[in-house]
Amino acid sequence: MIIVTGGAGFIGSNLVMGLNAQGYDDILIVDNLTNGQKYTNLLDCKFSDFIDKNDFLVQVQQQKLNSKHITAIFHQGACSSTTEWDGRYMMENNYTYSKILFHYCQQHKIPFIYASSAAVYGSKQDFIEQRAFEAPLNVYGYSKFQFDQYVRSLQAKFTAQVVGLRYFNVYGPRESHKGSMASVAMHLNQQLQDTDTIKLFAGNAGFSNGEQRRDFIYVTDAVALNLWFLQHADISGIFNAGTGKSQPFNDVAKAVIQYHQRGQIEYIPFPTHLVGHYQSFTEANLAKLRQVGCQHQFKNVATGVQLYLDWLNK
């Protein structure tokens, strides 16, 4: 059995689909369906059971799971809102929860592959998986950073595989439930359909209008990295999960306009509340990922956006 926490969420449900494609369907999905819209992400997934997050934690802490039947745990469950400033809530969901699962997996020698985030880098310009390059700008990034630090402190004592994947800007199918936290591609597509106009931030922090750059990674590529590590259980560590090539927001907008063959771009003032808390540039350094042998080739924005919009408009 494979366990996927956050399995009804964006990356989690896509991961379940990726596992299904490789022949895995004995999957336990763990999630919190307070946001009932997420159920649609599971309609075409094959899995053996579903359990609420809180009930799952009780079973883990009381040792009620049959650990001998667990092949791996993919820990995708988290509060992923970069605008959430309730630090107590964030640390409970993203740090304490992760620690409990980490220790359970170590106790029973179960591979543990978890979601970290490029938010740990903050405004740094070099995105290398080392402490010197990490300085999160918000409490979400801090919660991910702190768990990475915890994992590092115990790395010499690992009894089983532990992999942290630092997701950059993931976009693609099954994210509509995320609302304001959904990807740029989804929001720009909706804006164009509603008004024929795409709105991007005007220049800031030395970047021209719409030229703030992010490492946009299509969700199936993020899934492919998870599955690669599942097949390489001898490799542990924290790795960047991005394409290695940043692209400006203008490229996303142009890809949406090209797809629909209509629309224009309008640049709006950069929000004052985001000054000092916004990553204007991200680009994954893939040296560490390549060094361990993962040679996955990533889709660029033009290709990924076309695939995504085909899916959205299907």
Helix-helix angle 139-153:97-108, to 10 degrees: 20
Alpha helices by DSSP H, listed for 92-240, are: 97-108, 139-153, 184-195, 219-230
* Residue in 252, 250, 246 with CA at minimum distance from that of residue 281: 246
| Cα separation, 87 vs 25, whole angstroms | 36
- 140 an active-site residue? yes
The amino acid that residue 246 corresponds to is S
Instruction: Say how far apart CA 237 and CA 215 lie, in whole Å.
Output: 21
Confirm whether 95 is a catalytic residue: no
Do 238 and 308 belong together in one domain?
Answer: no
Residues 186 and 114 in one domain: no
Check whether residue 108 and residue 135 sit in a common domain: yes
DSSP class per residue in 214-273: E-EEEHHHHHHHHHHHHT-TT--EEEEES-S--EEHHHHHHHHHHHHT--EEEEEPPPGG
Residue in 178, 199, 245, 288 annotated catalytic: 178
3-state secondary structure of 170: strand
Q: Are strands 2-5 and 27-31 parallel, antiparallel or unpaired?
A: parallel
pTM for this prediction: 0.94
DSSP three-state, residue 84: coil
Q: What CATH code is carried by the domain that includes residue 44?
A: 3.40.50.720
- Tell me 302's DSSP state: H
77 and 28 in one domain? yes
Indicate whether 131 and 90 sit together in one domain. Answer: yes
196 and 227, same domain (yes or no):
no
- Assess whether 15 and 139 both reside in one domain: yes
Q: Among positive and negative, which fits the CA dihedral 62, 238, 222, 275?
A: positive
Question: Cβ–Cβ contacts within 10 Å for residue 48, how many?
Answer: 11
- Do 182 and 159 reside in the same domain of the chain? no
Q: Do 265 and 294 fall within a single domain?
A: no
Collect all residues with Cβ–Cβ distance below 8 Å to 188 and sequence separation of at least 6. Answer: 198, 252, 253, 256
Range of the structural domain that residue 255 is part of: 176-213+246-281+303-312
Looking at the structure, do residues 102 and 131 belong to the same domain, yes or no? yes
Shared-domain flag, residues 238 and 99: yes
* pLDDT tens sequence for the chain (314 residues): 999 999 999 999 999 999 999 999 999 999 999 988 899 999 999 999 999 999 999 999 999 999 999 999 999 998 766 667 688 888 998 999 999 999 999 999 999 999 999 999 998 889 999 999 999 989 999 999 999 999 999 999 999 999 999 999 999 999 988 888 889 999 999 999 999 999 999 988 889 999 999 999 999 999 999 999 999 999 999 999 999 999 999 999 999 999 999 999 999 999 988 877 788 899 999 999 999 999 999 999 999 999 999 999 87
- Using CA atoms, how far residue 24 sits from 84, 114, 164, in Å, is 35, 19, 22
Residue 198 sits in a domain whose CATH number is 3.90.25.10
pLDDT of residue 82: 67
33 with 105: CB under 8 angstroms?
A: no
Catalytic residue among 121, 140, 142, 308: 140
Q: Are residues 106 and 142 in the same domain?
A: yes
Q: Report the domain count for the chain.
A: 2
